[in-house]
Amino acid sequence: MGSETIVLLSRREIDKMRKAGILASQLLDHLAPMVQPGVSTLELNDEAERWTRENGAISAPLGYNGFPKSICTSVNEVICHGIPNAKQKLKDGDIINIDVTPILDGYYGDTSRTFFVGTPSPVAKKLVDVTYECMMRGIAAVKPGGRIGDIGAAIQEYAEGHGFSVVRDFVGHGINREFHTAPQVPHYGVKGKGKRLRKGMVFTIEPMINEGTYEAQVLDDNWTAITKDGKLSAQFEHTIAVTDSGVEILTLPESKDEYKSA
The pLDDT value recorded for residue 62 is 98
pLDDT at 223 over 80: yes
pTM value is: 0.96
Q: Is 110 within any annotated ligand binding site?
A: yes
d(CA 124, CA 18): 31
What percentage of the chain reaches a pLDDT higher than 90? 94
173 is in an annotated binding site: yes
Percent pLDDT > 70 in the chain is 95
180 is in an annotated binding site: yes
**Residue 262's pLDDT band (cuts 50, 70, 90):** very low
Q: What is the pLDDT of residue 258?
A: 55
206 labeled binding residue = yes
Cross-strand partners of 205: 238
Is residue 75 domain-resident? yes
Among 184, 236, 213, smallest CA distance to 80 is for 236
Cis, bond preceding 183 (omega within 30 deg of 0): yes
Residue 229 falls inside a structural domain: yes
Within a domain: 204:
yes
Residue 23 falls within a domain, yes or no? yes
3-state SS class at 92: coil
Radius of gyration of the chain (CA): 17
Residue 99 annotated in ligand binding? yes
Determine, yes or no, domain membership for 5.
no
Residue type, 33: P
Domain span at 98: 11-249
Supply the pLDDT for residue 255. Answer: 61
Q: Can you give the pLDDT at residue 256?
A: 56
Beta-bridged to residue 208, according to DSSP, are: 235
CATH number at residue 149: 3.90.230.10
160 annotated as ligand-binding: no
pLDDT tens digits for range 90-118: 999 999 999 999 999 999 999 999 999 99
What are the residue ranges of helices labelled H in the chain?
11-31, 41-54, 122-140, 148-161
Region 57-70: mean pLDDT is 98
DSSP 8-state class, residue 105: T
Asked if residue 238 belongs to a known ligand binding site, the reply is no
Residue 2 in any domain: the answer is: no
Q: Is residue 262 included in any domain, yes or no? A: no
Per the domain annotation, does 42 fall within a domain? yes
Q: Are 240 and 202 in contact (CB under 8 A)?
A: yes
What is the number of structural domains in the chain?
1
**What mean pLDDT, rounded, does the chain reach?**
96
SS3 39: coil
